[in-house]
Amino acid sequence: MSSNDLAARVRNAVRDVPDFPKPGILFKDITPILRDAVLFNDVVDHLTDLFSEQQIDVVAAIESRGFIFGAPLANALGAAFVPIRKPGKLPSERVRVDYELEYGNDAVEAHADAIAPGERVLIVDDVLATGGTAQAAARLVRELKGELVGFCIPIELGFLNGRERLAGIPLHTLLTY
Half-sphere exposure of residue 107, counting CA atoms within 13 Å on the CB side?
11
Q: Is 65 a catalytic residue?
A: yes
Q: Is 143 a catalytic residue?
A: no
Q: Which of 63, 65, 96, 143 is catalytic?
A: 65
What phi and psi, each to the nearest 5 degrees, are found at residue 88?
Answer: 85, 10
Neighbouring residues of 112: CB distance < 8 A, sequence distance ≥ 6? 92, 93, 94, 95, 144
Contact 145, 165 (CB under 8 A): no
Contact 99, 132 (CB under 8 A): yes
Show which residues are catalytic.
Answer: 65, 102
